[in-house]
Structure 1
Amino acid sequence: MITLFRKIRQNLLMTKKIGRYLKYAIGEILLVVLGILIALYINNKNQDYQVEKRTTSLMREVAKDLEYFIAMSNNQLEFYSYKQRIFDLIINEKLTYEDYSKSSYPNLTNATTWYLGGGKKRVAYNNLISEINSIPNKYKSTVSALSNFYDNKFNEDYIELIKSISIENEKKRVNNYEWYSSKVPDNQNNEMIDFMLNDFRYKNEAKYYYVLVSQHIGFILKDKIRAQKILKKIDSLLNNSLEKSNLRIDLNDNNSIIGQWTNNDYPNYIISISDNNNKLFYQTNIDSTKFELNTISDNLFIDNDNSFWRVEKTNEEVKIRIVNIEFNKSKK
């Protein structure tokens, strides 16, 4: 092709057709420029494709970490739902010697020393941030939301705080009580049971632990909701290419708890639970305000006061336990 162009130029010069030569030369220049522009366009498109492919891959990894975090948060909340119930029994002196000796509640003697770890996985997010300058604009708002999510460390700070308090409580027993090294099982350790039933220091210990847990529950829930929202945004950006089952969005069959609920001790107090766009809301007969119930699992929910609602089904009878208060479904 180059040889052909050279011959055409030589022929035009030899025949002294200067005007046609100039037109040809300009055309040749334009053709070369066009070729360069097409090459640049193809190269840019290829670079854009590679950047999009890389960003999509990074977003998928971040989504996996968010899925893990949501699942872990649900586990933590499930764990705390049991702890909240136990602390209520301890603080309000509702436990008996038999509760300890018969092990009526799992891990009862470890209430203030038993903790659950956790935290946010950051490797995928850090990889994404390291390439922030090349990420397409359509992802920038999601990256900003991710930055806010990962920069918020209250949840993890409380994990470390409760871990340290748990270890400290264990050390107190090691240093101050002979019964700690007793060879008898906990449910037969009379001195230990007497300490947990009657010593004000243990009740103070339980109450302080309960306050920390209650505060931590709020931070877990806020982080979980943030993670769910970001996960939905990533799902939308990736054209719904994430598995819906992995989004862990609160879309459960809640028909069994929709309706009105009463407590035998407070017959005039009624809780109404309703469903709106696959979200649960509750209100009472003494307040017209509706509050959302956040779903943790098929039978566990949490309200705006960080109190857990557990659905218990036995012999075709459904009950709701809010901490240690039991509600029955109204038949009206």
Structure 2
Amino acid sequence: MISFFRKIRQKLLQEGLPAGQAGKVINYLKYATGEIFLVVVGILIALSINNWNETRKDQIAEGEFLEGIKNDLTEDRIYIEYILNRIEPKIEAYNQLNKDLPLDYIIDKIEIDSLLGVYIFVGQRTFYPISGSFQSAVAGNEINTYKNKELIRSIIKFYNSTYSRLIENGQILDERWDRLSQIYSHQRRLGHFDQLNDTKFSLILDDIHFHFVQLQGYQTSLISSIEEIDRIINNIEY
């Protein structure tokens, strides 16, 4: 642009314009060049401000997303702890029924009935996560614009992998619990077992074992999920 005006100036001088007129043209060209320079600088400043505003908006959006994830995971952690507290008595009851006590229902009827009640009469809870913040960011494709790539990858992996497996394991556990509840619906309705002999007691343990194996694995998955939740929350706070 500057070289263009320089050529015009040189051409005007070569055409032999009067000194006064040539001076006016030169002054005009200087003025025009200055105006163009100011316009260009103004545009660059405007673009810089716009980019700064967009970056700031992205940072705010990312901060709100991470805060939402933190709140959701905190609530999830509380509920997982609640479920674990309900699982633990069942685990202990089965272990006592299967290992610690002699398989003699007649001798240990009161204690065995109590432990069977803990396992079969007490309801079951499984976990489903709060995923509003995550799903919203994924649906709007905003999650791909966030800058903290390592943290975002860990969050995506957690929801898409860890939580997905946990939900699937919970569904299997629910199916086995439904089966167990149906088998012993009469006892659950009455709130106690009829007189059992050792053979029937052993069959009950077999039915419980099918559920217990899945319950034990589910417990392990819940504990692992809490550990991952703690790591993600710590990284967000950091």
Identity, in percent, stands at 18
Residues 211 and 121 from structure 1, CA distance in 2 versus in 1: closer, same or farther, beyond 3 angstroms?
same
Bigger strand share:
1
SS in 2 for 1:111: helix
1:203 alignment partner, one of 184, 197, 205: 205
- Match of residue 213 from structure 1: 215
1:19-38 matched pairs, under 5 angstroms: 19-38=26-45
Residues 84 and 133 from structure 1, CA distance in 2 versus in 1: closer, same or farther, beyond 3 angstroms?
closer
Deviation at 1:39, TM superposition (A): 1.1
Note if contact 2:173-2:214 (Cα within 8 Å) is conserved in structure 1: yes
TM-score norm. by structure 1 comes to 0.57
Note if contact 1:66-1:227 (Cα within 8 Å) is conserved in structure 2: yes
1:146-295 matched pairs, under 5 angstroms: 146-152=155-161, 153-174=164-185, 185-186=191-192, 189-191=193-195, 194=196, 198-236=200-238
After superposition, give the CA deviation of every residue in 1:67-87 in whole Å (9 maximum; x if it has no partner): 112222222222222221101
Aligned pairs, number: 208
CA distance in 1, matches of 2:188, 2:199: 16
Deviation at 1:36, TM superposition (A): 0.8
- Match of residue 109 from structure 2: 97
CA distance in 2, matches of 1:204, 1:120: 32
CA distance in 2, matches of 1:201, 1:28: 95
Deviation at 1:226, TM superposition (A): 1.1
SS in 1 for 2:125: coil
Note if contact 1:97-1:197 (Cα within 8 Å) is conserved in structure 2: no
- Match of residue 123 from structure 1: 132
- Match of residue 243 from structure 1: none
Residues 48 and 219 from structure 1, CA distance in 2 versus in 1: closer, same or farther, beyond 3 angstroms?
same
- Match of residue 117 from structure 2: 109
Note if contact 2:90-2:118 (Cα within 8 Å) is conserved in structure 1: no
Deviation at 1:65, TM superposition (A): 0.8
Structure 2, unpaired ranges of 5+: 1-19
Deviation at 1:119, TM superposition (A): 1.6
CA distance in 1, matches of 2:72, 2:208: 33
Residues 235 and 58 from structure 1, CA distance in 2 versus in 1: closer, same or farther, beyond 3 angstroms?
same
- Match of residue 52 from structure 1: 59
| Matched residue type, 1:211 | V
| Matched residue type, 2:175 | S
Deviation at 1:171, TM superposition (A): 1.4
TM-score norm. by structure 2 comes to 0.77
SS in 1 for 2:78: helix
CA distance in 1, matches of 2:53, 2:130: 32
Note if contact 1:63-1:231 (Cα within 8 Å) is conserved in structure 2: yes
| Matched residue type, 1:97 | K
Higher relative contact order (CA 8 A, sep 6+): 2
Q: Which has the larger radius of gyration?
A: 2
Residues 181 and 231 from structure 1, CA distance in 2 versus in 1: closer, same or farther, beyond 3 angstroms?
closer
Note if contact 1:55-1:128 (Cα within 8 Å) is conserved in structure 2: no
